[in-house]
Amino acid sequence: MKCRKCGRPAVFNMRQHKLALCQVHYPEWFVAQTARAIEKYHMFTPDDRVLVAVSGGKDSLALWDVLLQLGYRADGLYIDLGIDDGVGYSAASRAKVEQFAAARANAHFTIVDIKAEYGETLPEAARRTRRGRGKPCSVCGLIKRHAMNRITRDGGYDVLATGHNLDDEAAVLFGNVLHWQTGYIARQAPVLPASGEGLARKVKPFCRFYERETAAYALITGIDYIYDECPYAVGATSIRHKGILNQMEEEAPGTKMQFYLGLLRARKEGLFRELAEEVELHPCANCGQLTSAPGLCTFCRLWREAPAP
């Protein structure tokens, strides 16, 4: 197979776009597509300060890399959750972020170390609290959301960018559709507007890329990332749903993209308008982030909860 642009051997073929490209033109295409998505969805402008949530995985490091290449003012945020699991998952992923930044003159980043700041690692907090029983994923989401909002606000950033790709978005949507979680479906979008002072504007510049496309970009451009999934993700429903969607994509290429982009179109046409009512939010009495509950937010309550009996 040959590169559509230059005729040299292609290294990557995208069936749903009917497009094969070589190792020079694939990264070029990938960067240009990211720039288009940022403009199409009005995510941010070159004047904005962007905080990129980086996990050490391929998607978030590729996103940071592309934003820096495009000349955006993009800093990183690494949240150290203290996941050890015998092989040092957090330490290893943190090392990938540090290496990435060290190799680039303009890659600055903040680390939030959960154990240092709150006295417990994620697994410890999950074991102690009711929310964490069984699986720590719910506590993890809570902690990460809170830290991302906090650093975006305290660091004076205009917007928070995450590396969610099309496979991630399609799998979340799939789960929400199976249970008709209409509130969540109504809010799932490439851009989530800021809410008052505490909740950052959130954008997903990679939401139109298949996971294999972000992986190919990282591999071809030599970004060194952590290959392992989080040890707690094994058996997660979202991974099962990704498997189902992959199976359908195999049978009908383009299924995932149609599914996700179809939602965006359906919403434009009026679906969900009635459901998008604003929930009333109040600042948390402790941290000031907006929360739907009166008093303390769920995050601040987490650290005060007595150990489960």
- In the complex with a second copy, the residue whose CB is nearer, 275 or 293, is 275
CA angle 65, 66, 72 (to 5 degrees): 100
| Least spacing, CB of residue 179 vs a second copy, in Å | 6
CA torsion sign for 24, 26, 31, 36 is positive
- In the complex with a second copy, the residue whose CB is nearer, 217 or 259, is 259
| Least spacing, CB of residue 77 vs a second copy, in Å | 33
Q: Can you tell me whether residue 27 is helix, strand or coil?
A: helix
Residues in the chain: 309
Element (H, E) at 282: strand 282-283
Q: Which amino acid is at 53?
A: A
Residues that bind a second copy (CB under 8 A): 177-180, 182, 240, 244, 247-248, 251, 255, 258-259, 262-263, 265-266, 269-275
- In the complex with a second copy, the residue whose CB is nearer, 88 or 254, is 254
- In the complex with a second copy, the residue whose CB is nearer, 147 or 263, is 263
- In the complex with a second copy, the residue whose CB is nearer, 75 or 249, is 249
| Least spacing, CB of residue 177 vs a second copy, in Å | 5
| Least spacing, CB of residue 4 vs a second copy, in Å | 28
Is the separation of the CB atoms in 62 and 223 below 8 Å?
A: yes
Terminal Cα distance for the chain, rounded: 62
Is the separation of the CB atoms in 61 and 223 below 8 Å?
A: yes
| Least spacing, CB of residue 208 vs a second copy, in Å | 16
Q: Can you tell me whether residue 132 is helix, strand or coil?
A: coil
